[in-house]
Amino acid sequence: MNIQHYLSAIEQADTYKRYGKVLQVVGLMIESQGPEANIGEVCYIHTSSNNKAPILSEVVGFNNEKIILMPYSEVNEIGPGCLVESTGKPLSVKIGRGLIGKVVNSLGKNLDESPLPKGLSNYQTEQSPPNPMLRPPIAEPIQVGVKAIDSLLTVGKGQRIGIFAGSGVGKSTLLGMIARNSSADINVIALIGERGREVREFIEKDLGEEGLKKSIVVVATSDQPALMRIKGAYTATAISEYFRDLGLQVNLMMDSVTRVAMAGREIGLATGEPPTTKGYTPSVFATLPKLLERTGTNEHGTITAFYTVLVDGDDMNEPIADTVRGILDGHFVMDRKLAERGQFPAINVLKSISRVMNQIASQDHKEIAQEMRSLMATYEENSELIQIGAYKRGTDHEIDKAILYYPKIQAFLEQEVFEYVTLDESIKMMKALIYGGTN
């Protein structure tokens, strides 16, 4: 046993605790005189109540040598002169296989307040994205279990997809379907800025008992401080990275990345950043790529990521939607008109794209998918003429074919919430539809 190693560690250990004190609290922001701390480090704020645990906070900026902190919880107990103690470390959470089947908060603690299982490892929530040269190319498809996606918008292992939709179009239900039906080894689901009522509904109805058995759910509801909401996204991504490094195929589902951006906007405005497009601060557009680039492939395993983007007023070109679409490897657009028509999942296939489908699908599969897209596009282009009865059958062979196939295609794209269809079955059904079962 090398005792010298321990002796040198003891000699280098800093045995002093450094404190500062709270000067003022303005909105979300706590200003303190000291202690020595760097941006991103966690501090404890000791309240005047003796029986209360210290409030966890993070250094988010400086102002004339005064530290600007933001709390992970409410600030009701903080008063002038409260002691601020630096931990000297950024936020880390406990991660391990024991978390599978659990529902945790942004700090990695059980939401039902039960103790965490033993044998978990400490893992920092903020990590650098993998080196681009060490990322293997996306080479094989992953089963999503949704016919419209597996057949026409095939997803690859390690691909990052945006699900763009307005409120109430079925994003959460679609995520629940993917979590239950996917061929991934484990799901990490981040519910960021959700209504508290929806959390249990999603876990019990959309995800179900079978889905929860291979999932870890990270929850930060809309009533929680901005820092907790943004950390929920970082914690979920860190959990995904941990399991990817074990060599597993991971699905990360984040609902929604828009609410992460809104939390970033709150923090940026509170620390004095100038607002830019739609009030979003420049740091929001800098942190989004850092967060989204952490997923994908690395030399050990893959994280296939699905990020929902809440588009205000169904405007697909609002700033966050535009930024996220430019970063990710494809987007699925959920259409309110399809949802109103009763079609579920309400994915507008013609407006959606999977940027890696050409690399991972067979030639045969690509040709059939292109044929189906072409029929749908032909019908859509001439839909007004067809619906008012102005088009006469026999005028154009392509339009006649599109009219014949359109009801069959619509029936194929619809899927019951608890209907399970494999990737191979989806492709076979599409072949049978286009070629009449001959191939």
Per-residue pLDDT reduced to its tens digit, 313-344: 667 778 899 999 999 999 999 998 888 888 88
Task: Quote the CA–CA distance of 69 and 56 in Å, as a whole number.
Answer: 10
Q: Could you give phi then psi for residue 237, rounded to 5 degrees?
A: -65, -40
Q: Could you give phi then psi for residue 72, rounded to 5 degrees?
A: -85, -10
Q: Pick from 205, 303, 206, 294: which is nearest to 253 by CA?
A: 303
Percent of the chain with pLDDT over 90: 54
The domains of the chain, with CATH numbers, are: 17-90 (2.40.30.20), 93-358 (3.40.50.12240), 364-436 (1.20.1270.330)
- Give the containing element (helix H, strand E) for 340: helix 336-340
Residue 261 has pLDDT above 90, yes or no: yes
Give the up-direction half-sphere exposure of residue 352: CA atoms within 13 A in the CB hemisphere. Answer: 26
Q: What is the mean pLDDT of residues 123-136?
A: 90
- Single-letter amino acid code for the residue at 77: E
Q: Tens of pLDDT along 386-416?
A: 777 887 787 888 889 999 999 999 999 999 9
140 CB burial (10 A radius; 0-12, 13-18, 19+): exposed
3-state secondary structure of 122: strand
Residue 214 · residue 250 · CB < 8 Å: no
The conformation of residue 204, written as its DSSP 8-state character, comes to I
The conformation of residue 251, written as its DSSP 8-state character, comes to E
Give the up-direction half-sphere exposure of residue 40: CA atoms within 13 A in the CB hemisphere. Answer: 8
Query: Which of 183-192, 203-212, 221-230 shows the lowest per-residue confidence on average (mean pLDDT)?
Result: 203-212
Residue 154 has pLDDT above 90, yes or no: yes
Residue 193 has pLDDT above 70, yes or no: yes
CA dihedral 428, 434, 435, 439 (to 10 degrees): -20
- Give the containing element (helix H, strand E) for 140: none
pLDDT of residue 50: 66
Q: Tens of pLDDT along 40-89?
A: 899 999 887 767 788 899 998 888 888 999 998 877 778 888 899 988 88
Task: Quote the CA–CA distance of 16 and 44 in Å, as a whole number.
Answer: 15
Task: Quote the CA–CA distance of 34 and 18 in Å, as a whole number.
Answer: 8
- Give the containing element (helix H, strand E) for 162: strand 160-165
With a threshold of 0.75, does the pTM exceed it?
yes
pLDDT of residue 437: 45
> For residue 19, what are the β-bridge partners?
85
Q: Pick from 243, 236, 216: which is nearest to 308 by CA?
A: 236
The conformation of residue 137, written as its DSSP 8-state character, comes to P
pLDDT of residue 409: 94
3-state secondary structure of 178: helix
- Between strands 215-221 and 330-333, the pairing is unpaired
Task: Quote the CA–CA distance of 189 and 177 in Å, as a whole number.
Answer: 12
